[in-house]
Structure 1
């Protein structure tokens, strides 16, 4: 094992955890009630949506691909869950998740079958899903009248959790086990690291890509359906900025855009960091613009530090100081 690489990975992991703790300490010191159980429950409810989507999206990124359709999937899956849930929420949930799984498999098959970039495939899927969401909902918000379903999915468990947040945590654990303990998981990582080398070594690269998209579509649909039952409504505009949030959570969590690098523990920390930042800023009355700017600055800072930006800048400064002056 490369000791230097291991040291860098450990430093990056410690940085992410330190950042999350710093945010929690800052907001708890500057706003009474931030650590109250009610607000922590709200924070975990936000994580239930962002974390679940980020876990699925991260698998495609680790495989060296990208799923642009997750935000639109959240919207359309929520509408499908409500429309198909007339006879029971379980039926609506099953139909929505099956739809997400099918679209995810389609994304994967088109990507490997046509040999084109997943960005091209999933931008087409995103447009299609957005149109489908507006068509199914008639351009309006659709409602669900079974109030018990909302009470069930948002039931308080162990003070700060709910079934929704526990589902997100369980999904992250399952993907962690997949990547760490199965041949398929190793194939996904190898595919993202170097597809040609992985194929030459016997890795099932095509299967890895299809499975990664299947996971992404399923998780996004599950997140959308559970959110719709929680809110007792769904709209075509739901999840408008969710893609950017999920990408940010993945990158903050150490997932490389080039593929082959990343883990679910880091993604969980990244999602919690963003939810803590957004929750804390909302708690102190920050505007939506300020929250968006803070999200972007945070991502830039973490990426710069993780890439050794400050060290490189210091080296450039030292080199400039040592360089002899020219007349």
Structure 2
């Protein structure tokens, strides 16, 4: 256990260093982030983006990409406002279950029919978005009884119910990916699908689970946002997909699949959320935060490239030294 700690730190060293650099830079630009209000605001942003990025990251680990996550969040927000009279907990459970089932169906069809997930989820992105407009009556809708959502406005220190739910989701998904059989199958089909299928891995099931997680997380994020604000609009999550993809990539989840963990996703979301919170505190437009996140992503990719290049050169030098050693010469 003790030996695993340095190994884990080394595994995420580059990301942790970048996270620290970004945090220090944003604190210089917006010192108020360290206040209770600033930390609370940061965690609220983390909860929404984190849930969407968490689900999206699982599909990326599986070698796919769920483009419908933003539309699912918007549809879930509209549905949550409609069923809110049932109560807070039933609403969250029903809407999250809806997202889980819709995502599972997507994943199963993608796996069973061998459809490109980009094409399929582009279609469902349009479909879920259109359904959100239909269900909302082509307008923004508001809760009639705001008292239903009062518990979401409470806080425990710097944590709200939304941020606590997001953290719980990260822990649960992390445990499933690391220790459950289906988690290993998700990594297997993401890293080497043909070999995994030949070894007996049920690809449709693994994809169904990964997209179910994405759908459930997006639905939970959308319903929490709608219930917390007391309103929902069909176009309220138009940009969250791009932000989630950037967060996943910043964290180090490989688009080729089979690489990355929940820790990677959390680091990426942390960086993106800190940037957004700092820009908001400074009164900057959302586009400025997106620009900064894009720059951070480019810098990370450049750092990875040079680190990989340096590592290859070290390995080549070590190989040459071993070949030229006296022992090898004598042999």
* Secondary structure in structure 2 of the residue aligned to 1:34: helix
SS at match of 1:116: coil
Matches within 5 A, 1:157-196: 157=156, 159-196=157-194
Q: Indicate the residue corresponding to 1:246 in structure 2.
A: 244
Query: Partners of 1:205 and 1:257 in 2: how far apart?
Result: 18
Q: Give me the TM-score of the superposition, normalised by structure 2.
A: 0.87
Q: How does 1:111-126 map to 2 (within 5 A)?
A: 111-126=110-125
Instruction: Please say if residues 83 and 92 of structure 1, whose CA atoms lie closer than 8 Å, have aligned partners that are also in contact.
Output: no
Equivalent of residue 232 in structure 1, options 205, 221, 230: 230
Q: CA deviation at 1:295?
A: 1.5
Aligned to 1:25: 24
Q: Deviations along 1:210-266, whole A, 9 cap, x unmatched? A: 110111101100111111110111100111111111111111111110000010011
Aligned 8 A contact 1:44 1:165 in 2: yes
Q: Does the aligned pair in 2 maintain the 1:179–1:185 contact within 8 Å? A: yes
Q: Give the Å deviation of 1:309.
A: 6.7
Q: CA RMSD in A?
A: 2.0
Give me the whole-angstrom Cα distance separating, in 2, the residues matched to 1:175 and 1:232.
28
Q: Distance in 1 between matches of 2:294 and 2:67?
A: 19
Q: Which residue of 2 aligns with 1:106?
A: 105
Partners of 2:218 and 2:62 in 1: how far apart? 17
Residue number in structure 1 paired with 2:144: 145
Deviation of residue 11 (structure 1)? Answer: 5.3
Residues 1:109 and 1:32: Cα distance change in structure 2 (over 3 Å): closer
Range with greater deviation from structure 2 (272-281 or 197-206): 197-206
Report the Cα offset of residue 20 of structure 1. Answer: 2.1
Q: Is the 8 A contact 2:74 2:222 kept in 1?
A: yes
Secondary structure of residue in 2 paired with 1:308: helix
Name the SS for the 1:237 alignment partner. coil
Count of residue pairs the alignment pairs up: 307
Q: Which residue of 1 aligns with 2:320?
A: none
State the distance in 2 between where 1:25 and 1:141 align: 39
Cα distance in structure 1, aligned partners of 2:162 and 2:100: 19
Q: Matches of 1:204 and 1:216 in 2, distance apart?
A: 19
Matched, 1:199 2:206: no
What residue is the counterpart of 1:15 in the other structure? Answer: 14
Which segments of 5 or more consecutive residues in structure 2 lack a partner in the other structure?
Answer: 1-5, 314-331
* 2:260 corresponds to which of 259, 262, 265: 262
For each residue in 1:87-115, what CA deviation from the matched residue of structure 2 results, as whole angstroms up to 9, or x when unmatched? 32333223311221121012112201221
Q: 1:294 to 1:125 in 2, by over 3 A?
A: same
> Which residue of the partner structure matches residue 296 of structure 2?
298
Q: Tell me how far apart the structure 2 counterparts of residues 173 and 278 of structure 1 sit (CA, whole Å).
A: 24
Output the CA distance in 1 between the equivalents of 2:248 and 2:97: 25
**Aligned partner of residue 307 in structure 1, secondary structure:** helix
Contact residue 108 and residue 208 of structure 2 kept, 8 A:
yes
Question: How far did 1:271 drift?
Answer: 0.2
How much has 1:289 moved relative to structure 2? 2.9
CA drift at 1:311:
4.5
SS of the residue corresponding to residue 85 of structure 1 reads: helix
Per-residue deviation, 1:310: 8.6
Structure 1 gaps, min length 5: 1-5, 316-327
| SS of match in other structure, 2:85 | coil
Show the 5 A alignment for 1:35-74.
35-74=34-73
Are positions 1:218 and 2:216 aligned together?
yes
